[in-house]
Amino acid sequence: MSQEVATISGWRDLLDKLTGFELDDESIKVLYHDNIDNSMNSSLGRYFDEAVNSMDGVRGAHAKFPKHYSGGGHVKQKIRKELGGDPDVIINFMAGPPSGILREFEANGTLVLNDPDMYPVTGSKVRTQQLLEQADVPVAETVIPHSYDDIREFCERVEGPYVLKPSNGFGGKGIRKVDTAEEALKQVNLGTDIVQEDVFKYWPHQSFRDIRAYVVGDECIGAMYRVNNDWITNIHNGGHGEKVPDNEYQKVAELAVEAVKAMGDGLHFSGVDILERYDKDGNVDYIVLELNSAPGGFYNLERSTGHGRDAVRQIVEYSVELEKEFHGGE
C-alpha cells in the first residue's frame, strides 16, 4: 500500500471513529427533504423508500431541516451517518423558502431539486401568471390590482362572480368569492391580493373539480381530478382524487408540460393545477391555475389511478440520472 493511500485510509479510519459512520463513496446518496416530522410514515415518504430500495447503487434517507440554522449541525450529522456522507442530491418536497442548511449543502456541491430559486416563482401567483401569459399558456382572466381603479376596470370587462386570492399562498388558504365589483372593492387587499374571474361561473356538474397533473422533466407522468362539494377543491379542503378519462388525458398532459416549460430552468418536477372552463354555451377549454414546486397528493393519485407510487419512483430516477450528469459520473 502506497503512503498516499495509507494516509487517506488513516484519515477515513479516524473520521469513522469521530463521526460514528463509514464513508460510502460508491452509492448515489439521495436525501428526501420534507417539512413533516416523521416523513417515513407518510405515503410520499414510503413511496420514496420503495423507489430507492428498488434501485441498485442508490442509498436514501429522510430529513426535516430546521427553519433556523441553530441545531443544524445535529441534523447534518444524522444525515451523514444514514447516507455515509453528504447527500449527492436532495429531493425537496418542502413547501416554503429554502433553509440555510439546504443552501449550505447546495453551496458544497449537492444537487438540489427543485432549484431553491424556483420557490419565489411558483410561490408567487403574480409571477406565475406573468410567465404563463408570456408563453401564451391559457390562464384565467386576472388582474393584479395596484389601485381600486384597476379592479373597477377589470369588473367592467369581466362578468362576476370574482375570486380574490392572496398573491402568495397554497392549499386554498385565504381564497374567497364575491358576486359584485362592490364586494370586490370592499374585500380586496391591495398589494397582496389578485382578482380573477370565477371559472366555475357556468359549471354544469353537480360536484366541483379541478385537475392536478404531475410533470417530471418534459413528461407528464400522471393526472387526477380533485373533486369536492366545495368550489375550493384542494385535497386538504376535503377533496378526493378521481381518474381523468383517457380521451382528456392527452390534452391535460400537453398543457401541463407547456406550463412547466414557461417557468424556465430549475423546475424539474411539479404539480400543475388545471381547470376546465365552460362558457355559457357549454363549450369547454383548459386553463392553468398555478404550479407547485413541492407537490403532494401522491396517495390520492395512487388510489384514483394506481400511478402514485410510480410517479414518485420516476421523480427519484430522474433525480439520480440528473445527479450523474451534474457530477459527471456514470
pLDDT digits (tens, 9 = 90+) for 116-175: 999 889 988 889 999 999 999 999 999 989 999 999 999 999 999 999 998 876 666 778
Apex 256 CA angle, 158 and 300, nearest 5 = 105
Domain final residue, candidates 162, 179, 197 = 197
Q: Are residues 216 and 264 located together in one domain of the fold?
A: yes
User: Which CATH number fits the domain that encloses residue 258?
Assistant: 3.30.470.20
User: Does residue 165 sit within a domain?
Assistant: yes
The answer on 44 and 67 residing in a single domain is: yes
Q: Cβ contacts of residue 41 below 8 Å, gap of 6+?
A: none
pLDDT in tens, 215-247: 999 999 999 999 998 888 877 777 889 999 999
- Whether 14 and 105 share a structural domain: yes
Q: Are residues 177 and 229 in the same domain?
A: no
For the chain, the domain total comes to 3
Give the lowest-confidence range in 33-47, 93-107, 168-182, 294-308. 33-47
171-189 per-residue burial string, b: 16 or more CB within 10 A, e: under 16: ebeebebbeebebbeeebe
Question: Over pLDDT 70: what percentage of the chain?
Answer: 88
Q: For residue 71, what pLDDT band results from cuts at 50, 70 and 90? A: low
Same-domain status, 234 and 264: yes
> What pTM did the predictor assign?
0.87
In a domain, 21, yes or no: yes
Residue 263 falls within a domain, yes or no?
yes
Q: What cell was used for 324? A: 450523474
Instruction: Quickly tell me which residue has 456514470 as its cell.
Output: 330
Residue 131 lies in a domain: no
Q: How far apart are CA 64 and CA 54, in angstroms?
A: 23
Q: Is there a single domain that holds both residue 227 and residue 261? A: yes
Integer-rounded Cα Rg, in Å, for the chain is 23
- The domain of 179 spans 141-197
Q: Say whether both 230 and 187 belong to one domain.
A: no
Residue 130 lies in a domain: no
User: Is 111 within 8 Å of 90 (Cβ atoms)?
Assistant: yes
Residue at 270 is within a domain: yes
Select from 313, 288, 297 the least CA-distant residue to 140. Answer: 288
CA atoms within 13 A on the CB side of 153: 9
Kindly give the pairing relationship between strand 219-228 and strand 208-216: antiparallel
Q: Is the pLDDT of residue 4 over 60?
A: no
Residues 6+ apart with CB under 8 A from 79: 31, 61, 63, 86, 87
Please give the pLDDT value at position 6: 45
Distances 131 to 128, 218, 222, 259 between C-alpha atoms, Å: 5, 17, 23, 9
Nearby residues of 178 by Cβ (< 8 Å), 6 or more positions away: 160, 161, 162, 164, 184, 187
Mean of per-residue pLDDT scores for the chain: 87
pLDDT, tens digit (0-9, with 9 covering 90-100), for 32-55: 998 765 555 689 999 999 999 999
Residues above pLDDT 90, as percent of the chain = 63
178 pLDDT more than 50: yes
Cell of 118: 424556483
162 and 259 in a single domain? The answer is no
Which is higher by pLDDT, 1 or 245?
A: 245
Question: In terms of domains, do 239 and 288 share one?
Answer: yes
Domain match, 23 and 91 both: yes
CATH number at residue 155: 3.30.1490.20
* 85 and 103, same domain (yes or no): yes
What is the side-by-side order of every strand in the sheet holding 193-197? 142-143, 193-197, 162-166, 176-178
Answer for the pair 207, 228: CB distance below 8 angstroms, yes or no: yes
Q: How many CA atoms lie within 13 A of 160 on its CB side?
A: 17
167 found inside a domain = yes
* Residue 257 reports pLDDT greater than 60: yes
Burial of 68 (0-12, 13-18, 19+ CB in 10 A): exposed
Same domain? 72 vs 149? no
CA 23-55-110 angle, to 5 degrees, is 50
Which residues does residue 277 pair with via DSSP β-bridges, in sequence order?
285
Residue 36 three-state SS: coil
